[in-house]
Amino acid sequence: MAAAEQRGGLHPDGHGLPEWIRARPPRGELYPEVRALLDDLRLGTVCREARCPNLSECWSDGAATLMLLGTECTRRCTFCAVTTHWPRGVVDRTEPARVAEAVRRWKLRYVVLTQVCRDDLADGGAAVLAETVSEIRRASSATLVELLIGDLGGDADALATVLASAPDVLAHNLETVRGLSPQVRDPRAGYDRSLELFRRAGQAGRAGLVLKSSLMLGLGESPPELDAAFADLRAAGVHLLTLGQYLRPSPAHRPVDRFVPPAEFDRWADRARDAGFAGVAAGPMVRSSYRAESLYRSARAALGG
């Protein structure tokens, strides 16, 4: 699931975690409402499938990241909790309308959509992604849409299909530094392919499009490698960056190299801003779509939009 809310999540036993990493219990009246709506419309969320440690906080605030193209991924990244499966081209054509209905019922100002990788589809699922954005525009025209996509197999036409649906934010996760990318990500992914996706999106020239990416810390990266990744993303035109702690979803996944303290995340956030990002969110529990609307709006202000 190269696109989605990576980092895996908290392993159920929680053993060996530092005191600054703790999942929050459900709170607030919106938590059961969000859960009921998702169940009613049979929608997948990265919150559940990737075992996001912020699930309770976000659902309690009435937010969730909706997962498109099913809940099983054709790739097997060493960090990701999402189930790997080859769906043989099967697509639920009712999904775009059901997602749009959820957005309408929630009365969302801002929605984050992500996808599982679908290498079994010729376009990587681009047509379904674009249709979902279009359905949301019809159902709730004022809603801002952040679309967190995979690399679409490096297909320029598939990316053009997605861009034609006019998301407000196009996100794609670089995940890690260049040297670790072959070990961390599925072999079908690639550091340079991800950067090329951003370059193509920027060259498409759609006014107001914000580009966003994310990196995990705690995988064994060095400070010079992180600085180089910042520079590569900025050179590719990326405006927003999130930085979070990698958490091992299970003993079968890649081990954590180290737990990065909150103060160090603060320092990396400053360095990312110095590198030229218009908006940065960084912290042990930060994930790709964490407080996405706030980050987007602060970045638009910085970009003069």
Residue ranges covered by each domain of the chain: 30-303
CATH superfamily of 30-303: Aldolase class I (3.20.20.70)
Rounded CA-CA distance 74/118 in Å is: 6
- Could you give the C-alpha distances from 46 to 7, 20, 72, 276, in angstroms and in order? 11, 23, 11, 29
Rounded CA-CA distance 289/148 in Å is: 9
The confidence band for 25, taking pLDDT boundaries of 50, 70 and 90, is: low
- Neighbour tally for 93: CB within 10 Å: 8
The per-residue pLDDT for range 247-303, each reduced to its tens digit, is 998 999 999 999 999 999 999 999 999 999 999 999 998 988 888 888 998 888 888
The per-residue pLDDT for range 108-163, each reduced to its tens digit, is 788 889 899 999 999 999 999 999 999 999 999 999 999 999 999 999 999 999 99
